Amino acid sequence: MKKRLISSVLVLAMVLGAAGFAAAAQKLVIYTSMKESLIGELRDAFLKMHPGIEMDYQSAGAGKLMAKIAAERESGKIMADVLWTSEVPDFYQLQSQGLLEKYVSPEVKNIVNP
């Protein structure tokens, strides 16, 4: 339970902090394998904090998301700003392909590590 809470807080900080990236395009796009109810709550919190920025998300299984990213990469334009999935090997694969950018949220100072 504690790990899940920490993970959720980290993702929330990452998404809410990603507003700087989204501000240029006025839209934040998230690909996630998380349940619709969870991402819906996150969307509501984001829109409340950043009313001038739209937020869109694609919710699907991790395999479908990776296929979508592969197809978008092939076309030359990956649409996602944030990928939120529970499949750790997918992150290693994307990292080895040079598709991940380092990001440290300005909210990191508010995260308590028990």
For the cut 90, the answer to whether the pLDDT of residue 64 exceeds it is yes
Pick the range with the lowest mean pLDDT from 8-17, 41-50, 62-71: 8-17
Q: What six digits make up the tokens of 80? A: 């996602």
For the cut 80, the answer to whether the pLDDT of residue 47 exceeds it is yes
Binned at pLDDT 50, 70 and 90, residue 73 comes out as very high
Q: What is the CA radius of gyration of the chain?
A: 14
**For residues 19 and 53, what is the distance between their CA atoms, to the nearest angstrom?**
8
CATH no., domain 2-110: 3.40.190.10
- Averaged over 18-27, what is the pLDDT? 58
- pLDDT given for residue 14 in this prediction: 53
- Helix/strand/coil for 35: coil
**Contacts for 42-47 with beta carbons within 8 Å, 24 or more apart?**
42/11, 42/12, 42/15, 45/12, 45/16, 46/15, 46/16, 46/19
- Helix/strand/coil for 88: helix
**For residues 94 and 40, what is the distance between their CA atoms, to the nearest angstrom?**
26
pTM passes above 0.85: no
- Averaged over 20-31, what is the pLDDT? 71
